[in-house]
Structure 1
């Protein structure tokens, strides 16, 4: 790092006070895990973490500029970063330029607008939902919002409780939430593909809590650094511009952020033709993985039945891609986990939203055909954005519902040593709850993993 850049960050950190640091941390929650932010108590440490996360650098100061603009430190913006209020307002009007989400901006704006008496009213109305220790007199509104998020009371797509509270004494602010929710009703793009491979599912037997982790051989080894490759095949710009996949860049950035943090060698390939998709997968299956623990592959594209489309509209069979990593075709990964996450539709049907009753009047039955075990395809997990025949959804502004949820859950649950299958189940639950253009989306997990896959978080 250059001396000038280090000096610049030092001068900015010296000018920030405690409340401003709290605001900066809150506005950065979409980019830095909450647990890491909780450990930060002074501005210098905060700026160091932003560097670690590649959010700022000597030639990349926009996120820092945006943060200072959001907390109204225009003096620092002008004196140290050569910018101004007017310049930032112009920049932030560019679609996709803002890195602080509209959701964070909304909550921060509400916190600023509430008076001390308003904050006391909010705390009083939350007494039955939050512990008293979190509602003490010195707790700021941002701290209360954070606790509401942690307890699932509010989230980006569900602000009902907060609206109900504010409606009682600040209807003007409640209208701001209404406007935010209207703005979120944007067009979601759709992608079509069907995943054809039927693979057996081997759920691991559950014993007493924590017992499985103590048993030798029940967890995949994750001790190397890097743990393995995280390969991202991300098709954004197609030969036919009408098929361009806006929002997929945000998915790629989210995956890179998470898997770099988890100590994977992360590589992204953009805009591949159909033939090149297969060649790239084949190339990575031929690499020497003996000193690695795992292989992870994300594929973001359009497709059709059983296939993924390249940007040239040429297709490649998904089974051919996965088969490159069987024990026979990739012996250096035999017995090690191979993970494929595919963001795409599996059809063109909307998944209906149905009412859920607390009980049912008749017996429940499950019909299933027995699946043949294929040992050569053991140790493979496939996460699909949706079940067969249905649509998945991608926001042009924030990325796909499925991938963004997965990345958020991994940042939250990997430090708690949750295995990947459990994390994907949490993702299924969260995505299934969302209303998307009046429809639903139900992701799918297919697995022949023989052990728990727990990603080790660097200390």
Structure 2
């Protein structure tokens, strides 16, 4: 990390006072565990935790800008971060840009609006719900809100008790909660009617395709050109020549052929070290995808269970790569599909082979299942060449069994408007049937897609 960046964080931390630190911690609760925040007692430690969580970095200061804007430290925003109130207001109007949730903004705004007498009234009315030790005179409104959350009295989709309390002496603030709830309902309604379902929109479609048109609201939209990036990270030549992956160039060519045909901006990076794999993925997560429909990433390398190896034999966790594209870390892709296809081993269980070789570089541990946190991340699909603990296979001459099968199936089934999950299931079936010199391979699909992902074929 650069000296200039550390100096910047030091100067900002020196300018923050205790109450402001408490506000920053409260506003960050959706991104940093409460237990970790409770252990922080000074601003420097808070900024260090944000770095650890990858919420801020030398080239990624938006979350810090937003936090300072929310707590009204416009002087720090202007003097140290080259921004302004007006610029932040414009930025935060962009859908999905704000990283502090509307719920947490609401609670913080209420805490700011309440007078000392109001806070005493809230504490008095909560005596039966919260322990007296949590309602002492020096407890701030933000601390009270935290205790209410811990005890299940309030949560994002249920603010009934807080409304009832405020109705008694601050009906004006209760109306703010009403407005928040109304907006939340509107957002849900807008999501439900985003895509028209009238058959008349698709007059040329009849029969089964007409029925598909009726279900259009359950299909991710694909209207832009290009539809998105297709990023290929292809490791061929390793530091140790005995691990070189012959045949992987054919995989790269097959993917480029298919995704250029499907109108994706296709980019291939060759022979990356472990650290560079992560940095490249991170770089693409920070790009502006607002005019894109989708993101696709192929990774070809050696691997261990839930890890990918760089050409320097250093590993990077698959979950760390995927996490770069959560709604929080890549807001311009929030609600859009993110696809990761990984050709690598996930363990060391070997089968005899002659004409094919494994995408694995040595004895590996087998004590953990990969991608256990993926179900918490919406709109992500991961296709793995093999289930955990096992090897995947690649022909030196024609490329990997999994990737070549996938590309063939996409060329066959995309024109028939098959969705990607169905295509990958076909690939699973085909690969599982094959005898690989006495060996078998079973690919795996992990998906939190909320709709069908159908790639549009250009006419």
TM-score, length basis structure 1: 0.50
Q: For the structure 1 residues 282 and 27, does the alpha-carbon distance in structure 2 shift closer, same or farther, using more than 3 Å as the test?
A: closer
Q: For the structure 1 residues 11 and 375, does the alpha-carbon distance in structure 2 shift closer, same or farther, using more than 3 Å as the test?
A: closer
CA drift at 1:249: 0.2
CA drift at 1:50: 51
Larger Rg: 2
Q: Which deviations, in whole Å up to 9, do the C-alpha atoms of 1:238-290 show, x marking residues without a partner? A: 01100000000000000000000000000000000111000000000000000
Native 8 Å contact 1:212 1:218 kept in 2: no
Q: Which deviations, in whole Å up to 9, do the C-alpha atoms of 1:2-31 show, x marking residues without a partner? A: 999999999999999999999999999999
* Unaligned residue ranges in structure 2 (runs of 5+): none
Q: Distance in 2 between matches of 1:147 and 1:28?
A: 16
Q: For the structure 1 residues 221 and 37, does the alpha-carbon distance in structure 2 shift closer, same or farther, using more than 3 Å as the test?
A: farther
Native 8 Å contact 2:299 2:343 kept in 1: yes
Native 8 Å contact 1:351 1:390 kept in 2: no
Q: Which of 8-17 and 285-294 deviates more? A: 8-17
Q: For the structure 1 residues 400 and 200, does the alpha-carbon distance in structure 2 shift closer, same or farther, using more than 3 Å as the test?
A: farther
Q: For the structure 1 residues 308 and 362, does the alpha-carbon distance in structure 2 shift closer, same or farther, using more than 3 Å as the test?
A: closer
Q: For the structure 1 residues 374 and 139, does the alpha-carbon distance in structure 2 shift closer, same or farther, using more than 3 Å as the test?
A: closer
Q: For the structure 1 residues 170 and 12, does the alpha-carbon distance in structure 2 shift closer, same or farther, using more than 3 Å as the test?
A: same
Q: Which deviations, in whole Å up to 9, do the C-alpha atoms of 1:70-128 show, x marking residues without a partner? A: 99999999999999999999999999999999999999999999999999999999999
CA drift at 1:307: 1.3
Q: For the structure 1 residues 341 and 155, does the alpha-carbon distance in structure 2 shift closer, same or farther, using more than 3 Å as the test?
A: farther
CA drift at 1:346: 1.1
Q: For the structure 1 residues 223 and 38, does the alpha-carbon distance in structure 2 shift closer, same or farther, using more than 3 Å as the test?
A: farther
Q: For the structure 1 residues 376 and 287, does the alpha-carbon distance in structure 2 shift closer, same or farther, using more than 3 Å as the test?
A: farther
Native 8 Å contact 1:56 1:63 kept in 2: yes
Q: Which deviations, in whole Å up to 9, do the C-alpha atoms of 1:298-339 show, x marking residues without a partner? A: 000012232111111111111100000000000000000000
Native 8 Å contact 2:345 2:358 kept in 1: no
Q: Which deviations, in whole Å up to 9, do the C-alpha atoms of 1:10-69 show, x marking residues without a partner? A: 999999999999999999999999999999999999999999999999999999999999
Q: Distance in 1 between matches of 2:146 and 2:397?
A: 24
CA drift at 1:129: 75
Q: Which of 300-309 and 261-270 deviates more? A: 300-309
Q: Which of 7-16 and 245-254 deviates more? A: 7-16
Q: Which of 101-110 and 414-423 deviates more? A: 101-110
Secondary structure, aligned partner of 1:348: coil
Native 8 Å contact 1:193 1:306 kept in 2: no
Native 8 Å contact 1:222 1:455 kept in 2: yes
Q: Distance in 1 between matches of 2:136 and 2:168?
A: 21
Native 8 Å contact 2:305 2:369 kept in 1: no
TM-score, length basis structure 2: 0.50
Q: For the structure 1 residues 271 and 322, does the alpha-carbon distance in structure 2 shift closer, same or farther, using more than 3 Å as the test?
A: same
Q: For the structure 1 residues 173 and 371, does the alpha-carbon distance in structure 2 shift closer, same or farther, using more than 3 Å as the test?
A: closer
Q: How does 1:5-404 map to 2 (within 5 A)?
A: 211-350=211-350, 377-404=377-404
Q: For the structure 1 residues 376 and 346, does the alpha-carbon distance in structure 2 shift closer, same or farther, using more than 3 Å as the test?
A: closer
* Unaligned residue ranges in structure 1 (runs of 5+): none
Bigger relative contact order (CA 8 A; separation at least 6): 1
CA drift at 1:350: 3.9
Q: Which of 332-341 and 75-84 deviates more? A: 75-84
Q: Distance in 1 between matches of 2:150 and 2:408?
A: 13
CA drift at 1:349: 1.3
- Taking only aligned residues, the RMSD between alpha carbons, in angstroms, comes to 23.8
Native 8 Å contact 1:309 1:315 kept in 2: yes
Q: For the structure 1 residues 42 and 253, does the alpha-carbon distance in structure 2 shift closer, same or farther, using more than 3 Å as the test?
A: farther
CA drift at 1:439: 1.2
Q: Distance in 1 between matches of 2:60 and 2:437?
A: 36
Q: Distance in 1 between matches of 2:150 and 2:407?
A: 16
Q: Which of 246-255 and 48-57 deviates more? A: 48-57
Native 8 Å contact 1:187 1:395 kept in 2: no
More helix by share: 2
Q: Distance in 2 between matches of 1:47 and 1:346?
A: 36
Q: Distance in 2 between matches of 1:333 and 1:260?
A: 20
